[in-house]
Structure 1
Amino acid sequence: MAEAIVNHALGKLADIVGKEISFLQGYHRQLDSMQHELRWIRAFLKDAELKRNSDERAKNWVNEVHDVAYRIEDVIDTVVAEVNNFNQPQMISVLNRVLMNPKKLPIVHKISEEINKIEKRIDEISQCVEKYGIRELGDGSIGGVKKPVMETVLPDTDETDVVGLQSDKENIIKLLLDPSTTRRCVVSIVGLGGLGKTTLARKAYNSYEVKKGFDFRVWVSISQNFKLIDLLVAIIKKIRPLKKDEKDLIKDLRKKQDAIPQRKGVEYFTNGLNMALRDKKYLIIMDDIWTEDLWIQVKGALPDFNNGSRVLITTRFSNIAMEADPTYNPYELPLLSDQESQELLLKKAFPNQNPENYLKDLADLLKQFTVKCGNLPLALVILGCLLSRKPPTYSSWNKVFQTLNWHVDGKKCMEVLATSYEDLPAVLKPCFMYLASFPEDYQIHAKSLIRMWVAEGFIREERNKTLEETAEGYLEELLQRSMIQVSKRYYNGSIKYCCIHDLLRDLAIEKAKEYGFLAIISNEAGNSMHATVRRAAQHCVCREIMDYTSPNLRSLLCFGDLPNFSRFKLLNIFSEMGKNKDVRIDNFKELTQLKYLVLCSYIYNDSKGSLWKNVSRMRNLQTLDLSNYSKPSPDCLWDIKTLRHVILPKTHGRGPPPTADLKNLQTLKTVCFRTLWQTKGLPNLPAIRVLRITEGINHGFICWETLATFLSRLHHLVSLQIKCSRNSYEMLDMSSFQGMQSLHVEGSWSLKKAFDVNLFPVHLLKLTLTNSYLIQDPIPILEKLESLKVLKLMQYSYNGKKINCSEKGFTSLENFELHGLPNLEEWKMEGGGMALVKKIEITGCENLQTIPELQHTTNLKELRLNGTSQDLLGKLRGKEQYKIKHVPSIHMI
């Protein structure tokens, strides 16, 4: 985390040095010196931070580095704020008066003093590296002890105190002994730390079937700092005793750490392992792999004799599993069920007695404990051991529940989870801690999270990628490391909603407090907030405890009632997630530094449209979401060159004027078509990826020729929604939009152009039609879109009585929805059609009498029928039940 904080400060220093700011005339030498010293300090940070838990010198030094980096940020942000204020029209004359002699300005004197103090403090911190021996803190391994790969001798007995793994054990054994696959393949068990991956692998390893099925079985545990030679030697030792010359070679290699001897040693033991395994059917289990390149290094030592040999690995990271064997899907170990969780907790809480006598009194607490543990086996085991030392009474267990502190009582569990945090790259640590901002069990909107990360400055620029694309990669990496869970994905596979396990959220909160990264304001917790805190998450709904202050606050996320936040002049991020009835517009007057502004509430108390005036002063704004605001957007909004994502009121969003040059703008929803685009030209929006455009009162009807010209210039367009309110229009030819993935067209079709598949982008993944009033059945046309995954025919998109799917139609479709088609009576589908469909939803089709033989759609997982005819529901519950009885989830209303 320290490295991330320093990187952030360095980025701001580089940015400010490159700007011609009169305030800073005469200070460039000092700022350059700060940059140089911070880069030098950064070289020692990684090792020092890893040692901070075991070495007080390291802890104090790292904290000092945090402090000075934050102070640098404060100075820079204060300068930027003052410059922005001086750029306001009323301040121009003041700026001119002080330009020749800036020292007359009080703020310049204050900044000068602070720069001198920071420079002095940096010198002191640099000297501490030598003075207190920071340089010799160690080798950078976690916890101060470097753990080598080591052989583990496992008892040949099955665990009796674990539950919920019997079916998983059987599945793993089948994969290990599968007679149809004779090549040496890799089976992977993937899951969160503490979930039971090692226990499952051990159960399979010790099973009778596996013992009988292999000539050799070898188990090795892998540390985060493994050495390939140690791994090779550990495997060889399990197969045969080491020879004397091999023992001598190992001793010699441990003395000589040079690359050439190490490489020769690897080659020697690789050949030795190949010889030891020759013509043998072997099973090698490598437990807890942390790095993707391990398999690349070791696979050459594990020969494939095409005799059914296997390698089994356990890991927290799905990308490692895919690297090891792309043809085998990782076996993802799920959390325990509620019943299994209670069973495991009871086994640990009552190790030598029958718990049945106590269940009546403890049943409610038992459920609460399992919820607290999040069905995580490791947490349940630790809690069960704690309860086993308490009297089995309600009052005793309730006292444990009320006072339970996972940072103390669950220390072992948190230490296991903390290893996942310590292993994160520096760029991911602040991203992970940011998840602590969200309430427990909150469904986090991935796009919003990514935009906040970008506004915070967490994301590093990568060549040929937007910051958002890089951030999406960060999110996927957190998923691969089992640090988050996916709740829902978009049609294109990207994450839509994610959540964080409660224990990992506790870990994020603990780390955020430790580094002064975040304060959480809630009804339950103490709400004191240190003056240096940078971020706050407001979870409470009681205004009486919300009067907190922190002049350095940069980020404020509100999930409850709004506090008085107008004093936070350096605020970069403000997100209002609740539904507040009295959002005060004047609170935004001083927030000129905002980069991210989202208001979810409907704002009625701004008759003069003052909010837009305040927004126009936010010259660094990146994300703006005022979709529930009732006032039309002004043209001055588009003077903000930093805009990246803009979501406007659905009927009041005014599109950019022709003079707009918004090179960073990627999302634009919803804007009305402007007639002046036809006469005065089109705005320059080269980076647009998501566009929602509509006709609007006083903004002009859509001119399709102008719109076609506009769209043809948007080479990165991925998602487009067009809403037309006229009686009919001519469908645009969008076949040239190779990158478009989602298209939503609302409005009736003109009869001038035939409805044809060639009008649509060839790689379209999602299509929604609304109010199209088609007479011709669209299915025979749309089913030819080979990449289409989602099709939604919304209200009055089709006026006919029948739709018919062919046997070879919709080869990729996964989601099919019919909504508000009152004339539809019959849906037919030839056997084999929609082979991959997973969800079918039909609502508001009250005259629909028949649906097809869905028993042929073997991938169908969910069927929802709402507002269809009673006759149809009666058939599906009676004589036609055979059509849908294979579907796991059926909702019929």
Structure 2
Amino acid sequence: MADAVVSFGVQKLWDLLIRESERFTGIHERATELRNEVGRLKGFLKDADAKKHATERVRFCLEEIKEIVYDAEDVIEAFLLKERSVDEKGIIERLTKCTCNLMNRIKADSQIKGITARISKVMESMQCLGIQYIVDNGIPPKPLSERLKKSRQTFPNESESDLVGLEHSIQELTGHLVENVNIRVVAICGMGGIGKTTLARQVFHHDMVRGYFDKFAWVCVSKQCRRKYIWQEILLNLWPKEEEHRIQQMSEERLQDELFKMLETNKCLIVIDDIWSKEDWDLIKPAFTQKPGSRILLTSRNEDVASYTDPRCKTFKPRSLTHEESWKLLQRIAISGRDDIVLWLCAEFEINEVKEEVEKMIKRCGGLPLSVKMLGGLLSTKRTVSEWKRVHDNIGSQIIRGISPGDNENKAFQVLSLSYEDLSFRLKHCFLYLAHFPEDEEIYTEILYQYWVGEGIIEISSVGTNSSIRDAAEGYLEELVKRNMVLVSKRHEVSSRIFKIRVHDVMRDVCLWIAKEENFLEVVSAETQFSNANASSQIPAYRSRRLAIHMDLDDGKQRTFHQKQIRNPELRSLLCITRRYNTRWNSALSFGGLRSSLRVLGLCGAQFRQGKLPKSIGKLIHLRYLSLFATNVSKVPSSLGNLSLLVFLDLRSFGQKVHVPNVLKRMKDLSYLWLPYELSEETKLDMGSLVKLETLINLSTKHCRVEDLLHMRNLRQLHIDVYGTSNEEILPLSLVTALKLVEDFQLCHQPIDNPVEVDIGGFARLHRLSLIGIKMEKLPNGLQSAPNIASISLWGCRIEEDPMPILEKMRSLKKVSFLIDSFIGRKMVCSSRGFPQLRYLQILGLDNLQEWVVEEGSMPRLRRLWIQRCTKLERLPDGLTNISSLKELDLRWMKKEFKEKLVEGGEDHYKVQHIPSVTFEGCDE
């Protein structure tokens, strides 16, 4: 009877919940409508982007709209994540689900109504203040790029008395214009302020150039290219002054005809200064002849423009000034010719009194001529030691903001910020994200790409079917490189993909300045903000939704980062950035104290109490990026499974063996997954549902099923550890065949007594292959049928056959590494015409290797050779003398007799005397 009463009560409650739930049946439609409204607001922000500097009221309104968009996205996502179908059979289970579902709908309905009201209010405000009209019709004041245009006009006869370090460049460019008849276009490309126009001006007036050409014209294109104006300006330069009125009356068609004839019948030099895009060139090129004789010298920030103008275009990139050249230029501007300052320096103090400050200021200019000139002009107005030191203390803002405090329209800021103004909406965000990183940081592109995608700057939905997320991100970065807004620090030695970048110090100052002005990001230093003694200290309240904390500490002490030190709970991005992976800091974060709006969370180096990641991490349901790299995490909570929107997950902690509950299968949007280096024995993971994975690192067959890989058809990078098998074939052929897109494959196997077979023939796009600890009698099957392999690394494979006869026939191979015990034979032979593309060869720890033969004609492009700890190798092969491309030879831990043969005076010195860099280490024992 009691059970019947309870059942009847439950049923009544169920019916009540169903009726109450029906009140919110239209919530999906309201959520969809809000999403559409957010799309329209985003479109408005993009349209307004070029004019956001117009007035304070416009900027304030746009900031308000951004906040609404952020909040609306959070509400919509949270609602959709929590919606669940009520399909369990039991009434109690259905009742629990329905109750949760109803509470979710009530909360979401209230939030949607609140945001809709905010949208209505801001739209009403925009209408009352005329903001929509201002944005749509461009009412003055004009956007920054327009206001700066006039000041960026350049002219051929501007005085240039401060020329340092240009002599060689002028000579080289003059030679291209005068001596090479096959070159029609010469381009000077580089970042703003590097001196492109100054260099072009010196070449334009050079005696040799003046003697070679008959007529000369100089025109500045700048940001807005007007074809008729460009052609008029060129003709006005080439024709006599009395023709000015007639030229101004000509139509575009007539201007084109007259200019074309002039360039065909005369030897003319046309300088096109500051051309921005390929579209600009397409506009003006119909007037330029293809016949030899006349030349075009153009300057551009975009290297794409140069190659687009003419396939044979000679591109020249001005170099930065050396420290000595910067100091010389600074002296010319700040001191030379000023009697007052010279007398003052002699009378009051020696220049050495501010030498340290001046040295640091020069370094901050980064060799950029424009910045050195701005600094020189700034110092030229200062007369006391304290004034010079004050400039040093404010060097970043002084150079960027200019000589007059608060003056944002000085020449330096104009030139550098114009590059930013020309970027697309998304590229602007890509560039501003660089402000996260410390000064002089070499930025790993892989990490940068992850941040971009995690923040939604690059949308995964826009990635093509045959492209990866990395391909899309690389396209954005390449655009910034071509525009010379970032500098390539290192390219991958095999693939030539950009591996590291850096940002010029002065361009970084621009990036930081704009990021602050836009409320894009706030950067703080752990050294000044956090300490154990002052745990209650708070970061000042900022409106920015992004916070970067630079965790590097020079005193060796560990700091504790407390939750209370974050003043903005609505953060979208929280990145704790360390320069060194051995940097450790104590985490006192309570993730529940952060709103669920967080998209990007990087905790590199964090030390959690007892190695436990707090359960509250599961409340950050909007996370796309989570990195626990170099933390001490050894236990991951099951609540991690709530983060179903994760795209990037890095679990490579430096702790003990890590236990990961079986929750990764819920993260169906994962594209990049780095598993821990070592997993606990009880960890078992189902990953067959992760069909979007592009990168999977540290997969272990002890903890995961190999069969799950069959579902991951998008994998590009796979590093797998194989355990517990003695089968002849280490991987099923069906698996290799299924993973057709894999480009980077690393296979690690715990050593067993019996050799195994590896077949990689199915990896049609394989570019990089690493085999570690896999005992093989011979190289893997299918190597020669994998035409794209550029890099092979072997470690502990104990191959008995000489591998060179097979490897040297691989036409794409650029790098080969034979590491410890990878080959146990005594002789290797590289035959003539073998290894046609090989650039790098490493031979390390081959204890049995006694003889190495290199025939003439082998390895014709080899640049670097490392030979380390091959103690039985008697001597270098004679064939190295024929490899003229060899630039670097690194010999380590070889026998003393081996070194004595190669040093000057030794019997084999002739083999290495043509190599510019030969280094020995640990060879004297």
- When the two structures are superposed, what TM-score results if normalisation uses the length of structure 1? 0.86
The yes-or-no answer on 1:513 pairing with 2:542 is no
CA deviation string 1:11-61 (max 9, x = no partner): xxxxxxxxxx99974345655555665666666655644333343343333
The yes-or-no answer on 1:55 pairing with 2:80 is no
| Alignment CA distance shift 1:662-1:31 (3 Å) | closer
Q: Which amino acid aligns with 2:99?
A: R
1:4 corresponds to: none
| Alignment CA distance shift 1:651-1:596 (3 Å) | same
* Deviation (angstroms), 1:423: 0.7
* Deviation (angstroms), 1:553: 0.9
2:677 corresponds to: 650
Aligned length: 845
401, 410, 426: which one aligns with 1:408: 401
703, 710, 715: which one aligns with 1:688: 715
1:556 corresponds to: 574
CA deviation string 1:525-582 (max 9, x = no partner): 7874546432111114543787123221121111253452512242221112336475
CA deviation string 1:69-101 (max 9, x = no partner): 233234335535655999999998554126468
731, 753, 758: which one aligns with 1:732: 758
Equivalent-residue separation in structure 2 for 1:755 and 1:67 (angstroms): 56
CA deviation string 1:274-298 (max 9, x = no partner): 1112232222221111112233333
The yes-or-no answer on 1:585 pairing with 2:613 is yes
Q: Which amino acid aligns with 1:370?
A: I
Greater alpha carbon shift after TM alignment, 490-499 vs 321-330: 321-330
1:780 corresponds to: 805
- Secondary structure at the aligned position of 2:173 is classed as helix
The yes-or-no answer on 1:862 pairing with 2:855 is no
Superposition pairs for residues 325-724 of structure 1, below 5 Å? Answer: 325-328=310-313, 330-352=315-337, 358-391=350-383, 393=385, 395-404=386-395, 405-406=397-398, 407-409=400-402, 411=408, 412=410, 413-460=412-459, 461-464=462-465, 465-490=467-492, 491-523=494-526, 528-530=539-541, 532-540=543-551, 542-543=559-560, 547-559=565-577, 561=585, 562=587, 564-566=589-591, 567-570=593-596, 571-578=598-605, 580=607, 582=609, 585-586=613-614, 588-603=617-632, 606=634, 609=635, 611-628=636-653, 630-652=657-679, 660-673=688-701, 683-696=710-723, 704=729, 706-724=731-749
Tell me which of the two structures has the higher relative contact order, counting C-alpha pairs closer than 8 angstroms and 6 or more residues apart. 1
* Deviation (angstroms), 1:889: 3.9
- Secondary structure at the aligned position of 2:642 is classed as coil
Equivalent-residue separation in structure 2 for 1:164 and 1:386 (angstroms): 22
The yes-or-no answer on 1:79 pairing with 2:79 is yes
Q: Which amino acid aligns with 1:647?
A: W
CA deviation string 1:779-828 (max 9, x = no partner): 23211111111111111111233333233121111221112222333433
Equivalent-residue separation in structure 2 for 1:616 and 1:702 (angstroms): 35
- Secondary structure at the aligned position of 1:619 is classed as coil
Residues 522, 542 of structure 2: 8 Å contact kept: no
Superposition pairs for residues 184-223 of structure 1, below 5 Å? Answer: 184-223=183-222
| Alignment CA distance shift 1:23-1:777 (3 Å) | farther
| Alignment CA distance shift 1:25-1:430 (3 Å) | farther
Greater alpha carbon shift after TM alignment, 206-215 vs 135-144: 135-144
Greater alpha carbon shift after TM alignment, 763-772 vs 797-806: 797-806
* Deviation (angstroms), 1:632: 4.6
- Secondary structure at the aligned position of 2:261 is classed as helix
Equivalent-residue separation in structure 2 for 1:225 and 1:305 (angstroms): 28
Greater alpha carbon shift after TM alignment, 77-86 vs 527-536: 77-86
| Alignment CA distance shift 1:531-1:218 (3 Å) | closer
- Secondary structure at the aligned position of 1:670 is classed as strand
Equivalent-residue separation in structure 1 for 2:728 and 2:518 (angstroms): 55
1:872 corresponds to: 898
CA deviation string 1:494-542 (max 9, x = no partner): 1111121222222222222222221212157787454643211111454
Greater alpha carbon shift after TM alignment, 382-391 vs 742-751: 742-751
Residues 657, 683 of structure 1: 8 Å contact kept: no
Equivalent-residue separation in structure 1 for 2:719 and 2:481 (angstroms): 30
Equivalent-residue separation in structure 1 for 2:823 and 2:688 (angstroms): 39
Residues 224, 289 of structure 1: 8 Å contact kept: yes
| Alignment CA distance shift 1:391-1:581 (3 Å) | farther
Equivalent-residue separation in structure 2 for 1:876 and 1:824 (angstroms): 19
Residues 165, 325 of structure 2: 8 Å contact kept: yes
Extract unaligned runs of 5+ from structure 1. Answer: 1-20, 251-264
Equivalent-residue separation in structure 1 for 2:662 and 2:734 (angstroms): 22
* Deviation (angstroms), 1:616: 2.2
* Sequence identity percentage: 27
- Secondary structure at the aligned position of 1:616 is classed as helix
Equivalent-residue separation in structure 2 for 1:29 and 1:119 (angstroms): 18
| Alignment CA distance shift 1:401-1:165 (3 Å) | same
Equivalent-residue separation in structure 2 for 1:279 and 1:656 (angstroms): 79
Equivalent-residue separation in structure 2 for 1:625 and 1:689 (angstroms): 17
- Secondary structure at the aligned position of 1:558 is classed as strand
Extract unaligned runs of 5+ from structure 2. Answer: 1-20, 530-537, 554-558, 579-584
CA deviation string 1:632-658 (max 9, x = no partner): 544432232111111112343999977
- Secondary structure at the aligned position of 2:873 is classed as coil
1:254 corresponds to: none
| Alignment CA distance shift 1:888-1:318 (3 Å) | farther
Equivalent-residue separation in structure 1 for 2:102 and 2:708 (angstroms): 42
> RMSD of the TM alignment (CA)?
3.5
